[in-house]
Amino acid sequence: DIQMTQSPSSLSAFVGDRVTITCRASQGISSYLAWYQQKPGKAPKLLIYAASTLQAGVPSRFSGGGSGTDFTLTISSLQPEDVATYYCQKYNSAPQMFGQGTKVEIK
Amino acid sequence: DVQLLESGGGLVQPGGSLRLSCAASGFTFSSHAMTWVRQAPGTGLEWVAGIATSGGNTYYAASVEGRFTITRDNSKNTMYLQMSSLRGEDTATYFCARWGGVIPLVHPIDYWGQGTLVTVSS
């Protein structure tokens, strides 16, 4: 099975900072990569799919990049409402593996 | 608006069974592959199972294969997850979710329910 590894597992940054989360697949997955945001006690929300396509309604400060095995999620200017855990997911085949998550907090 | 409403969670003893339901509304249910994802307390997301639009093709995580069965009834706009031989490690919030297209596995999950908690304990 393809494994998804995110880093870091947590980060703390100031409001307005640029934040980048990475996700690495153990084998190539082309661009079959999605990013989700999950706030405490809530269901996950799709932010980005096909590695770099922003889901409708998601603020433009979120962006995604990469292909093959290495991917990034960038928040260009961190806002208080971005406090959440972020997950990557590969969706080219079964099993549909998620990364272990990156918890983002405000300093 | 797309809505996914799970039900059927609760407390069950190890070795027991439980059936979860997911009632869908706000979209053409028969045009979307569907899936279940779970989250154990304080941990990350784990994909559990998926089903094609017709119900003819199903997919499972290795951790549940042979114990869980995913089905759907397009006439009732409802998906199910029959869980048997339950173990402590199955304790989790189970999310019903919609794949963003007809074909299973090759679309991101674009809508999620709020989840239903399953607790396996004696």
Per the CB < 8 A criterion, the answer to whether B76 and B84 are in contact is: no
Q: Show residues of chain A in contact with B117, CB under 8 Å.
A: none
Flag if A101 and B109 touch (Cβ within 8 Å): no
- What phi and psi values does residue A81 have, to the nearest 5 degrees? -75, -5
**Residue B104: what pLDDT?**
87
**Residue B66: what pLDDT?**
97
Per the CB < 8 A criterion, the answer to whether A89 and A99 are in contact is: yes
Q: Tens-of-pLDDT digits for all 122 residues of chain B?
A: 999 999 999 999 999 999 999 999 999 999 999 999 999 999 999 999 999 999 999 999 999 999 999 999 999 999 999 999 999 999 999 999 999 888 888 999 999 999 999 999 99
**Residue A36: what pLDDT?**
98
**Residue B83: what pLDDT?**
98
**Residue A53: what pLDDT?**
98
Per the CB < 8 A criterion, the answer to whether B60 and B46 are in contact is: no
Q: Show residues of chain B in contact with A98, CB under 8 Å.
A: 44-47
How many other C-beta atoms are found inside a 10 Å radius of the C-beta of residue B24? 24
Side-chain half-sphere CA neighbours of B120 within 13 A: 18
Q: Which two tokens stand for residue B70?
A: 């995913």
The rounded mean pLDDT for chain A is 97
Q: Which letter does DSSP use for residue A98 in this model?
A: B
- Interface with chain B: mutation pick from A91, A92, A102, highest number of B CBs within 10 Å: A91
Q: Show residues of chain A in contact with B45, CB under 8 Å.
A: 36, 38, 44, 87, 89, 98, 101
How many angstroms separate the CA of residue B111 from the nearest CA in chain A?
Answer: 7
In this complex, is the C-beta atom of B109 within 8 Å of any C-beta atom belonging to chain A?
yes
d(CA B95, CA B116): 7
Per the CB < 8 A criterion, the answer to whether B5 and B113 are in contact is: yes
d(CA B39, CA B101): 23
Res A103 pLDDT > 90: yes
Kindly state the average pLDDT of the residues A34-63: 97
